[in-house]
Amino acid sequence: MAAYQLNVNGQRREVNVDPSTPLLWVLREDLKMTGTKFGCGISACGACTVHLAGVATRSCIVPISHIGDRAIVTIEGMAQDVVGQAVQNAWIEKDVVQCGYCQSGQIMAACALLKATPQPTDQNIEESMGGNLCRCGTYPRIREAIKTASAGILPAKGGE
Amino acid sequence: MVASINRAEVSRRGFLRVSFAAGTGLLVSLYLEPRLSRGALAQEGNPQPPPQQAKVFPPDAFVNIRPDGKIAIQVNRLEFGQGVHTGLPMVLADEMDADWANVIAELAPAADVYKDPLFGIQMVGGSGSIAHSFQQYRELGAKTRAMLVAAAADRWKTTPDQCRTEASVVHGPNGQSATYAELASEAARKPAPATVRLKQPAEFRLIGKRTKRLDSPAKGNGSLKFGLDLDLPGMKVAVIAHPPVFGARVKSINDGDARAIEGVLNVFEIPLVKGSGVAVVADKFWPAKQARSRLQIEWDTSGIETADSTELWTRYRQLGQTPGAVATTRGDEKAIEKIAAKDRIVAEYEFPFLAHSPMEPLNTTVRFDGDRAEVWAGSQFQTVDQMAVAEVLGLKPEQVKFHTEMAGGGFGRRAVADSHVQREAATIAKRLRGTPVKLVWTREDDVQGGYYRPMHFHRVEIGVGPDGMPVAWRHVIVGQSITAGTVFESFTTKNGVDSTAVEEDAEHTRSARQTDCELARQTTSRSRARCFVS
């Protein structure tokens, strides 16, 4: 066991866990933040996606000892984020979710994409989101919602 | 699954009840007894509950009209992506003229009142969520509305036909109005109408209208709790080392390294539905999983059926060419044999064993308190799973409080006739009496440990007429029965044909145009892979 100081959604949190513990399980079991989901444990499905220093990261394979002082942002922090709000609103507007289990990860991946590429093409979306699996097959609505969010964040220029 | 299980006529009787619950105030609930016997009905007014009365938890609920105007509607089946958590409340709220903005949906626990009206058990499968409960929820809504209107008519010294309803408000003939919440306690004293007028489609406000899912916001902000997210005071987490082949037994365990991991509480062998395994209980998931990987287990695989994919496919292909039990025929079943080879199309399809892989790994939480137990599970089979847990714990099903948890997908994987995941969780909880324990199947467990969608081989021969259209059709399906050897077999299997294996194809051949057809299937073995695919 070792003590770790973490920056989670802008708040300082301290945990005392085994150094090998993946960030996912620290979030879920020590910090009781269950919005980040366990899907596979091997970085294959994307359900556990969080932002680590702004980068979409699979929290199920990052040991807590590797986090350092990098800021962690989870789905629970998205409501306080301008892009996060736009994406969450678009998700509701397009009624994206079905079972919903992958959607925290989808939204975290979509937010990371839009922060880096505010007006993504279909190809950008596929490249960024392709690793986030949805067993219900909500992909077409995810794509629509990303475009809706994009339009909300950066109104299209050109007078249309 | 097909809707052929227990089509016993549903005897519906509804009445409103009033009850008081700490913190939530007055609850008015429409209570439906789906299969109450005539004897019980005759005892209406008798303060003693009739002996054959349905066992119900909670005692009174499909609809709760709360003092703040919120209307909570119980959903009688699992939500796992299909949208029933929104769909059934829409149906009920429409007939009730409830204010949709104030409707809350809740997943009902296991109870007789929540059984599927056609299947006769509480379950979801075969895409039957709306099809089976559409009429039921319409009647529930309409009867609730009728009682609210009757209460308002009394209040205003008028008749119900002089009143109209909209958005949880009853309006009277002289400009009076009262909200459903205001009328709830008076409505609760009204008898439920035996029959009730349902809306004409043109009157629908919600049914058939695009309506946003009720669970969207909570699923988009991470606040919705799935079964795997459950956190109870004092809860422990368990994982199981399952045998490398179905049915193998633990011969010896060396758990020294596993027990050395901080947070590990116990390691012990447990019986499984087939064979045995080793349970690891820890205070959290990660130490449990770490410990499991450090177990050294010697397995006894003697007497275990060995399966070989190549051999199985060879056998299935051979069976596909031989006559089998006939599911359905129309016209001349030998017609295909009279068609010249050049006018015959032969197509063969192989469907391998497949893991269902719902996004949320399988899990179940159980707490055993000696004379009662509590279960939390994303279950497609509440009735079956509740009975299984009760059996493991030596309890009656009604002593097992069974909560239906939101599930991240299912695809039939959460509808397993032998309830093996729930049995495993109960077996561990029995040993940890008084402590809630959450059993987590990892993704590897699910993919390696089954149960799988059974492997199937289809051989289709189609005779083509001069106009290029089919004139004869023979469709042979070879595969395992998912219900053989289970309580479902007597409902699903007739004359050697498991209807769950042929339902879609039987429908298609029935609807084929002027075609002589035959649909046959055979069961090749009774092992493994007992999962429903919805």
Q: Residue A160 domain-assigned?
A: no
Kindly report the length of chain B: 534
Q: Residue A67 domain-assigned?
A: yes
Are residue A56 and residue A108 in the same domain, yes or no?
no
Q: Residue A57 domain-assigned?
A: yes
Residue B178 has a pLDDT of 98
Structure ipTM: 0.95
B221·A75 Cβ contact <8 A: yes
Q: Among residues A57, A77, A97, which one ends one of the domains?
A: A77
In this prediction, residue A69 has a pLDDT band, given cuts at 50, 70 and 90, of very high
Are residue B235 and residue B105 in the same domain, yes or no?
no
Q: Among residues B431, B449, B467, which one ends one of the domains?
A: B449
Q: In this structure, what CATH number is given to the domain that contains residue A136?
A: 1.10.150.120
Are residue A6 and residue A63 in the same domain, yes or no?
yes
B286·A100 Cβ contact <8 A: no
Are residue B235 and residue B265 in the same domain, yes or no?
yes
Q: Residue B172 domain-assigned?
A: yes
Using a CB-CB distance cutoff of 8 angstroms, which residues of chain A are in contact with residue B288? none
Using a CB-CB distance cutoff of 8 angstroms, which residues of chain A are in contact with residue B360? 37, 39, 99, 101
Are residue A71 and residue A90 in the same domain, yes or no?
no
Are residue B58 and residue B180 in the same domain, yes or no?
yes
- A104 CA: distance to closest CA in chain B (Å): 6
Are residue B326 and residue B340 in the same domain, yes or no?
yes
B216·A97 Cβ contact <8 A: yes
Q: What is the pLDDT along chain B (534 residues), one digit of tens a residue?
A: 333 333 333 333 333 444 433 334 345 555 443 333 333 333 333 334 333 333 333 334 799 888 899 999 999 999 999 999 999 999 999 999 999 999 999 999 999 889 998 888 999 988 889 999 999 999 999 999 999 999 999 999 999 999 999 999 999 999 999 999 999 888 888 888 888 999 999 999 999 999 999 999 999 999 999 999 999 999 999 999 999 988 999 999 999 999 999 999 999 999 999 899 999 999 999 999 999 999 999 999 998 877 788 999 999 999 888 877 888 888 887 888 889 999 999 999 999 999 999 999 999 999 999 999 999 999 999 999 999 999 999 999 999 999 999 999 999 999 998 999 999 999 999 999 999 999 999 999 999 887 888 889 999 999 999 999 999 988 888 888 888 777 778 777 887 888 777 776 665 554 444 456 566 655 544 333 334 443
Q: Among residues A77, A99, A133, which one ends one of the domains?
A: A77
A75·B222 Cβ contact <8 A: yes
Q: Residue A158 domain-assigned?
A: no
Compute the count of residue pairs across chains A and B with CB atoms less than 8 Å apart.
121
Using a CB-CB distance cutoff of 8 angstroms, which residues of chain A are in contact with residue B355? none
B408·A37 Cβ contact <8 A: yes
Which of A18, A38, A107 is nearest residue B220 as measured by Cβ atoms?
Answer: A107
- B524 CA: distance to closest CA in chain A (Å): 30
> Which among B243, B333, B344, B345 is positioned nearest to B295, based on CA atoms?
B243
Residue B194 has a pLDDT of 84
B213·A40 Cβ contact <8 A: no
Q: Residue A159 domain-assigned?
A: no
Q: Residue A21 domain-assigned?
A: yes
Are residue B238 and residue B370 in the same domain, yes or no?
yes
B81·A136 Cβ contact <8 A: yes
Are residue A61 and residue A124 in the same domain, yes or no?
no
Q: Which two tokens stand for residue A14?
A: 């301290």
HEC string for B422-455 = HHHHHHHHHHCCCCCEEEECCHHHHHHHCCCECC
Q: Domain range holding A142?
A: 78-153
Are residue A70 and residue A35 in the same domain, yes or no?
yes
Q: Among residues B419, B449, B479, which one ends one of the domains?
A: B449
Are residue B30 and residue B108 in the same domain, yes or no?
yes
How far apart CA A57 and CA A37 sit, in angstroms, is: 13
Are residue B445 and residue B499 in the same domain, yes or no?
no
Residue A102 has a pLDDT of 98
- A132 CA: distance to closest CA in chain B (Å): 11
Domain count of the fold of chain B: 3
Residue B9 has a pLDDT of 30
Q: Is A142 on the interface with B (CB under 8 A)?
A: no
Are residue A73 and residue A83 in the same domain, yes or no?
no
**Helix H or strand E encompassing B18:** strand B14-21
Using a CB-CB distance cutoff of 8 angstroms, which residues of chain B are in contact with residue A32? 231
A101·B226 Cβ contact <8 A: yes
Q: In this structure, what CATH number is given to the domain that contains residue B396?
A: 3.30.365.10
Using a CB-CB distance cutoff of 8 angstroms, which residues of chain A are in contact with residue B376? none
Q: Among residues A60, A77, A94, which one ends one of the domains?
A: A77
Report angle CA B377, B380, B386 to the nearest 5 degrees. Answer: 55
Using a CB-CB distance cutoff of 8 angstroms, which residues of chain A are in contact with residue B215? 97, 100
DSSP string, A99-159: S-TTHHHHHHHHHHHHHH-SS--HHHHHHHHTTS--TT--HHHHHHHHHHHHHHHSPPSS-
How far apart CA B403 and CA B390 sit, in angstroms, is: 14
- A159 CA: distance to closest CA in chain B (Å): 31
Chain A, nearest residue to B80 by Cα: A99
Are residue A106 and residue A140 in the same domain, yes or no?
yes
Residue B519 has a pLDDT of 60
Q: In this structure, what CATH number is given to the domain that contains residue B515?
A: 3.30.365
Using a CB-CB distance cutoff of 8 angstroms, which residues of chain A are in contact with residue B83? 98
Are residue A104 and residue A41 in the same domain, yes or no?
no
B20 Cα distance to chain centroid: 30
Q: Residue B99 domain-assigned?
A: yes
A135·B359 Cβ contact <8 A: yes
- Taking every pair of Cα atoms in chain A, the longest distance, rounded to a whole number of angstroms, is 59
Q: How many CB atoms lie within 10 A of CB B472?
A: 25
Chain B, nearest residue to A31 by Cα: B231
Q: Among residues B421, B449, B477, which one ends one of the domains?
A: B449
Residue B45 has a pLDDT of 38
Based on its alpha-carbon atoms, the radius of gyration of chain B, rounded to whole angstroms, reads 27
B231·A35 Cβ contact <8 A: no
B213·A136 Cβ contact <8 A: no
Q: Residue A15 domain-assigned?
A: yes
Q: In this structure, what CATH number is given to the domain that contains residue A11?
A: 3.10.20.30
Chain B, nearest residue to A26 by Cα: B286
Q: How many CB atoms lie within 10 A of CB A71?
A: 15
Are residue A70 and residue A83 in the same domain, yes or no?
no
Interface test with B, best of A89, A101, A138, A139 (most B CBs within 10 A): A101
Are residue B381 and residue B430 in the same domain, yes or no?
yes
Q: Using an 8 Å Cβ cutoff, are B413 and B407 in contact?
A: no
Tens-digit pLDDT profile for residues A116-134: 999 999 999 999 999 999 9
How far apart CA B422 and CA B316 sit, in angstroms, is: 33
B222·A104 Cβ contact <8 A: yes
Q: Identify the three-state secondary structure at position B383.
A: helix
Are residue B256 and residue B173 in the same domain, yes or no?
no
Residue A6 has a pLDDT of 98
Residue B327 has a pLDDT of 81
- B114 CA: distance to closest CA in chain A (Å): 21
Q: Domain range holding B125?
A: 14-203
**Helix H or strand E encompassing A83:** helix A82-93
Are residue A71 and residue A129 in the same domain, yes or no?
no
Mean pLDDT of chain A: 95
Are residue A129 and residue A98 in the same domain, yes or no?
yes
Q: In what order do the strands lie in the sheet with A71-73?
A: A11-17, A2-8, A71-73, A49-52, A55-58
Q: Is A139 on the interface with B (CB under 8 A)?
A: no
Are residue B131 and residue B142 in the same domain, yes or no?
yes
Q: Is the whole model's pTM more than 0.80, yes or no?
A: yes
- A15 CA: distance to closest CA in chain B (Å): 14
A99·B80 Cβ contact <8 A: yes
> Which residues between 105 and 124 in chain A have a beta carbon less than 8 angstroms from any beta carbon of chain B?
107
Tens-digit pLDDT profile for residues A74-106: 999 999 999 999 999 999 999 999 999 999 999
Domain count of the fold of chain A: 2
Q: Is A152 on the interface with B (CB under 8 A)?
A: no
- B98 CA: distance to closest CA in chain A (Å): 22
Are residue B71 and residue B193 in the same domain, yes or no?
yes
B443·A35 Cβ contact <8 A: no
Are residue A69 and residue A106 in the same domain, yes or no?
no
Are residue B379 and residue B437 in the same domain, yes or no?
yes
